[in-house]
Amino acid sequence: MKPKVVVTRKLPTEIYDQLSKRCQVYMWEEEEKPIPRSELEAQIKDAAALFCMITETVDAELLDQAQNLKVIANMAVGYNNIDISTCEARGIRVTNTPGVLTDTTADLAFALLMATARRIPEGMDTIRRDEWNNWSPFFLTGQDISHATLGIIGMGRIGSALAKRAKGFEMEVVYNNRSRNYEAERISGAVFASFDELLEKSDYVCLLTPYTKETHHLIGKDELQKMKKTAILINVSRGGTVDEEALYAALKSNDIYAAGLDVFEGEPIASTHPLLTLSNVVATPHIGSASVNTRMEMARMTARHILQVLNGEDPDHLVV
């Protein structure tokens, strides 16, 4: 009998076909709505593989239901939705999708930086509301990007790709990371800085760090106060790296200039969330890697990881 794989979202036929040659595939039939927890718990009981998204919480309770599970393939680079230590203890392999989404996510980070600095959504709203009355000297003036200083917190693949883009804009790049990234320093002239030095010096602070216990609320009241009054915070990591209440207070009282956010503490963010009432916030709905090609590559890679583990091979990208 073919091993069973549970796929938690409706995906293109190509992915279904890729898996069904080797597996019996259960696929949740909705694209926009995540699989209900009760359905996932029922389906995972006899599954050998789980193909999941960041919307699924894979905790010890769920794993208790899954006595045959060999592999969890997350269609994302981040895997804070999965209890990694329990998987490791139970010999369940976990894979993610690094590399394939690096450029697309760095593009979004830079797009958010530019849209926030140059107040592009505000400009569009102004036209839509018929409030563009005249050209005026200081109308919708924002912040310069070229020659400004970009501080990158988390200099991994995406951070390095962002630094390359910044170099094209003749920006100074400083970064903070657990360890020095000599390659990024060589390629884009990025300079290592202490965390506080980065906050004090940067015109743009961009968060690209994984979300862990250590990075929970990495940016809070004290950190926001260390930033320049003209600084812009960009978050494309996970919402939990920023204390949203403290961010709201800092933006409201102009302790920092603006924020560009792709991720939130609770997703999807409610349209009534206080942050969205502020004109100095630009928000996108967690679309860092959302280009057609990249999402297809991520799905193909995730399916490949499952097949590799089920065939007794080492998957290309193993977390544990």
Active site residues: 238, 267, 286
Cβ 94 to ligand GLV shortest distance, Å: 13
Q: CB of 211 within 8 A of CB of 238? A: yes
CA dihedral 42, 48, 52, 58 (to 10 degrees): 60
Buried b / exposed e over 209-248, threshold 16 CB at 10 Å, is: bebeeebeebbbeebbebbbeebbbbbbbbbbbbbbebbb
Cβ 43 to ligand GLV shortest distance, Å: 23
Going edge to edge, which strands form the sheet with 49-52? 24-27, 4-7, 49-52, 71-74, 93-95
Stretch that binds ligand GLV, among 71-79, 115-123, 160-168, 170-178 (CB under 6 A): 71-79
The reply on whether position 289 binds ligand GLV by CB under 6 A is: yes
> Pattern 87-106, binding to ligand GLV, x per CB under 6 A?
--------------x-----
Spatial distance between the Cα atoms of 185 and 163, rounded to a whole number of angstroms: 9
> Given candidates 23, 35, 52, 76, which one binds ligand GLV under the rule CB under 6 A?
76
> Given candidates 50, 77, 227, 281, which one binds ligand GLV under the rule CB under 6 A?
77
> Given candidates 78, 123, 239, 274, which one binds ligand GLV under the rule CB under 6 A?
78
Cβ 298 to ligand GLV shortest distance, Å: 7
Token match 């927890």: residue? 37
Instruction: Say which DSSP state 166 is in.
Output: H
78 or 121: whose CB is closer to ligand GLV?
78
Cβ 6 to ligand GLV shortest distance, Å: 20
Stretch that binds ligand GLV, among 64-72, 74-82, 112-120, 131-139 (CB under 6 A): 74-82
> Given candidates 151, 240, 288, 315, which one binds ligand GLV under the rule CB under 6 A?
288
Show the tokens assigned to 23: 């597996």
Cβ 54 to ligand GLV shortest distance, Å: 6
> Pattern 36-65, binding to ligand GLV, x per CB under 6 A?
------------------x-----------
142 or 154: whose CB is closer to ligand GLV?
154
Which helix (H) or strand (E) element contains residue 25? strand 24-27
Cβ 269 to ligand GLV shortest distance, Å: 15
Spatial distance between the Cα atoms of 165 and 144, rounded to a whole number of angstroms: 15
Alpha helices, H only, the chain: 13-20, 37-44, 60-65, 84-89, 102-117, 120-128, 157-168, 182-188, 195-201, 221-226, 244-252, 292-310
Which residues bind to ligand GLV, rule: CB under 6 A? 54, 76-78, 101, 288-289
